Amino acid sequence: MLAIDDLYSFGEGVIIQSRSANGTTQHLVEFPESNERRWLPYFALRQIKGVKHAYVVGSQSEGNVAERFRLKTLAHALRNWNENTGALSSLDIDPLPHQIHLVHRILNSGSLDWLIADDVGLGKTIETGMLLYALQQRGQAKRILLITPAGLTRQWQEEMHDKFGLGDFQIYGHSFHIHEPREWKMHDHVIASIDKLKQESHLELLLQADAWDLVVFDEAHRLSRRQYGLHYDTSERFNLAHSLRRSKKARSILLLTATPHQGMQDKFISLLELLRPDRKNEFALLSLKPVLLQDMVIRNYKADVTDAEGNFVFHGKSTIALEVPVNQQSIDFDQALQDYLRKGYQAGKNKGYSGNAIGFVMTVYRKLAASSVAAIRRALYRRLSRLENDVLDEIIQSNFVEDERFQGELEEFTVSSDQDSREEFFDGEIELLKLLITRVEKLINHDDKLSRFMDTLLKQLLKDNPNEKILIFSEYRATQEYIKEAITGQFGEDKVVLLHGGMSHDERRDVIWQFDNEVQFLISTEAGGEGINLQQHCHTMVNYDLPWNPMRLVQRIGRLYRYGQQKKVVVLNVNSPGTVDEQIIALMYQRIEQVVSDMAAVQGDEFNEALKDDILGEVSNLLDLEEILEQASAGGIERTEERIKEALERAKNATNLQRDLFKYVSRYNPEDLANELIITTAHQLSFIEGMCKQLNIEIVKRIHDDKVLQLRLPDSVMNELGTRSSALDITVYRDMARSRKSTVMMDMNASLMQLFVRTACSFSFGGKTASVCARNLSGESFITANLRWQDVYGRRMKQDFAAFFIQGGRVYQNPKILGDWFLEEAETSNVIPTRDVNEQWFQLVERAAHKVLNTSSEINMIPDHVDWVSGAWLDNK
């Protein structure tokens, strides 16, 4: 073993070749830790004794070497756990066990070609971010391409930046443009719209870029290829993915979708062929050998998710419907509106293709009317002003146009903008609009929906807790402003904030902060339906209107009903069956609720609320009801109910098919990590406190229930960190770091943490071997090592930290009790066996280590190296 001078240290390595150049001897040194080889002059190297030599001869340094042994070993374990899971990095989330397991499973499988099919709401974006971060820590993914639906590019960019500190992702066609193929070299982290890249001109440019280490497809069920006999019907989106794979421009592909099967086996197999084209013939037998999915598909269900202590994460929710009686003004208005809609739809139908725009406007008017009287009132006034050639003021900002989270706002903007037609949709439209406006003015003065919301619903919610925080959803800005005006009039302007798609990212973050810390009411459009988490301070939600797409409702509820919610979530749906559409929407949700409850009762041993939510997410994702609702006015309630029933039956069958097949995929099982040394926050904290003592850093005070340590740094550490301040507050708790801006989160990216790990792992720190007092451990010794695997090209694929425990002549890997021992400061003993015994024990461990290397190997992952870290003799007395 050799070590280069500490000033420019590459760590410890082994000479594998020598040469002479210009009279100077040079050595090719392999450094196992970084997987690098470097030619270095002999005078820059010094010979050292490795762990095996020190252990066999029974060598031990002076002083409390046991504590240095513990810290050195723990430093390697921390670093390896972070590289394998990403769980100790600068994340703005607290990873759940199933997320850590997923990342660990993929990183240690020898392949990055996987389909992540986790249930809706379990954080596929978070899992992907953790995976990307861990890959970067390993140096295995320099070039990454994220391909998403057009409306989600910015959301992915925000999440990568905010939650994972991956701020260098740029959006193709927005942040930058490519004119020449060579320009791709300047962009290693790219997010792109699938519908942009599928276009021939963009695809041609993309295929001239250097290969991507990893290409991620979000909403991968949109990659559609159907098989009809020997003929394939291939979508442009599928062709994009297939072209990247066929041209070898994608070294690995990761597919994300909660509904990869959708009841269509051929379509599902097409996705599998994108992942593993070399196994195409095997997939033809998938129905007979579903076990094939184990090493390429991973699926977790909400019902199975627990926290680190094994407690179920989801505490249940209750849904309550508030039905508003219909008054005469509502009946009169709806009669006139239905007359207007019939004439509008007929006019659109008569014009053929060019009349589609009229049909679109009619459909949006229906949605607006079901939302609130204020929303349809504004639209009617705008339409009449347009026809009478009045100048229209811009009422809605349009920077949300490309974001599908804000579909309702985009519809509202489109029918209210100056782009609307100046010609009547049908003869007499102006007169009918004036009649509608007359009736809507009467209705707005007798709006029982708003009255019930304010006087009954809010009053009841605030009865026991006048300061209860309430999240209110509506699809439309006019409804949002209408509700705000009412709440402001009763509670004051400082009690309510709005969240909508016209806001910048920073503005939305500021609104969330206000709601968490100062404001009682948040009224949100679908801008708060995805990517925003409000569960820390709120558990009550009101849906002032119900979206036509049931998946939108699932996403809304997911803002509160998610990990971190400590209370039962209360969801209140306001329903005013004053229009045919509102009656149909209410009917739709009743039918969905019944189907989901029936399926949950059949699939669960006993009724399980979390299982019901799993199935609700799956069924909602597989339902396509918007077309049915759009045609509802023509078919009437009876025909619409029949079509909803048929659609639900199709979704139910597809869900059952998918669930049957997914019994064979990889999923979270705590036993899968039974042989791993599990690293927790407690290990982080113990390591930090131990290294503070070693580097003479004073822990001046512990505050906030010992969650924050106030340190005083010595000059030597200040110089290492390049800081002039000796005072530093640190924490290992993310909630503390978020709430105290001056407190440093001691993750693996913190400068002080990196100094601690670098110091503990260095040769000069010592602690490679030690005799330790271990009264709580039975056994004679344990030896630790980094086990490494590579691919067939010599690239490192996997590294595991392993502690081999010797007891009674047998070897055990990573016993759980060892993890507990690492939490306490170690004491040095002087019990060291003879050289013969040490040699015998080391040979036992060597055989065990190489057995692990061999048994964990796969076709594309072969044994590389065992790098011994430390060894200890145990004094049990």
Give per-residue pLDDT as tens, 846-857. 999 999 999 888
The tens digit of pLDDT for each residue in 65-77 reads 999 999 999 999 9
Give the Å distances, CA to CA, from 255 to 32, 51, 268, 339.
32, 43, 12, 47
| DSSP element (H, E) containing 253 | strand 253-256
Residue 429: its pLDDT value, please? 92
Instruction: Look up residue 456 and give its DSSP letter.
Output: I
At 461, phi and psi to the nearest 5? -65, -35
* Nearest residue to 270 (alpha-carbon basis) of 300, 234, 236: 234
Most confident of 257-261, 262-266, 559-563: 257-261
Residue 577: its pLDDT value, please? 73
251 in Cβ contact with 211 (< 8 Å): yes
What residue ranges do the domains of the chain occupy?
A: 1-48, 97-304, 317-324+448-634, 328-445
Most confident of 311-320, 554-563, 631-640, 728-737: 728-737
**Percent above pLDDT 90 for the chain:** 42
Give the Å distances, CA to CA, from 809 to 155, 435, 772, 814.
56, 94, 19, 16
Could you tell me the pLDDT band of residue 614, with boundaries at 50, 70 and 90?
A: low
Is the pLDDT at 395 greater than 50? The verdict is: no
* Nearest residue to 873 (alpha-carbon basis) of 775, 773, 763: 773
Range in 276-280, 586-590, 759-763 the model is least confident about: 586-590
Mean pLDDT, to the nearest integer, of 50-67? 88
CATH of 1-48, one of 2.40.10, 2.60.120, 2.50.20, 3.60.15: 2.40.10
Could you tell me the pLDDT band of residue 396, with boundaries at 50, 70 and 90?
A: very low
The tens digit of pLDDT for each residue in 197-225 reads 999 999 999 999 999 999 999 989 888 78
Q: What angle do CA 202, 203, 208 make, to 5 degrees?
A: 100
Residue 659: its pLDDT value, please? 67
Residue where the block lists tokens 């800081």: 723
404 in Cβ contact with 305 (< 8 Å): no
Those residues whose C-beta lies under 8 Å from the C-beta of residue 231, and which sit 6 or more positions away, are none
* Nearest residue to 146 (alpha-carbon basis) of 163, 125, 165: 125
Between residues 75 and 269, which one has the greater pLDDT? 75
Q: Same CATH topology for 97-304 and 317-324+448-634?
A: yes
Mean pLDDT, to the nearest integer, of 102-130? 85
Which structure tokens are listed for 465? 């807790």
Could you tell me the pLDDT band of residue 764, with boundaries at 50, 70 and 90?
A: confident
Is the pLDDT at 701 greater than 90? The verdict is: yes
Instruction: Look up residue 315 and give its DSSP letter.
Output: -
Residue 432: its pLDDT value, please? 95
Which structure tokens are listed for 634? 């023509």
The tens digit of pLDDT for each residue in 674-689 reads 677 888 889 999 999 9
812: left (phi over 0), alpha (psi -120 to 50) or beta: beta
Write down the CATH number for the domain with range 317-324+448-634: 3.40.50.300
At residue 699, the 3 state secondary structure works out as strand
Q: Mean pLDDT for the chain? A: 84
Is the pLDDT at 633 greater than 60? The verdict is: no
Residue 341: its pLDDT value, please? 92
Residue 397: its pLDDT value, please? 45
Is the pLDDT at 262 greater than 80? The verdict is: no
Residue 8: its pLDDT value, please? 54
Is the pLDDT at 416 greater than 70? The verdict is: no
Mean pLDDT, to the nearest integer, of 774-798? 86
Residue 5: its pLDDT value, please? 46
| HEC assignment per residue over 803-844 | EEEEECCEEEECCHHHHHHCCCCCCECCCCCCHHHHHHHHHH
Q: What angle do CA 588, 594, 596 make, to 5 degrees?
A: 100
Distance CA 506, CA 244 (A): 35
Between residues 302 and 127, which one has the greater pLDDT? 127
Is the pLDDT at 752 greater than 70? The verdict is: yes
Mean pLDDT, to the nearest integer, of 705-731? 94
Between residues 657 and 13, which one has the greater pLDDT? 13
Range in 157-161, 219-223, 586-590, 771-775 the model is least confident about: 586-590
Round to the nearest angstrom and report the end-to-end CA distance of the chain.
Answer: 35
Mean pLDDT, to the nearest integer, of 752-761? 95
Residue 230: its pLDDT value, please? 62
Range in 298-307, 456-465, 611-620 the model is least confident about: 611-620
Is the pLDDT at 398 greater than 50? The verdict is: no
Could you tell me the pLDDT band of residue 339, with boundaries at 50, 70 and 90?
A: very high
Distance CA 818, CA 774 (A): 10
Distance CA 421, CA 546 (A): 29
Could you tell me the pLDDT band of residue 399, with boundaries at 50, 70 and 90?
A: very low
- Domain spanning 97-304, CATH class: alpha beta
Could you tell me the pLDDT band of residue 490, with boundaries at 50, 70 and 90?
A: very high
Mean pLDDT, to the nearest integer, of 173-178? 92
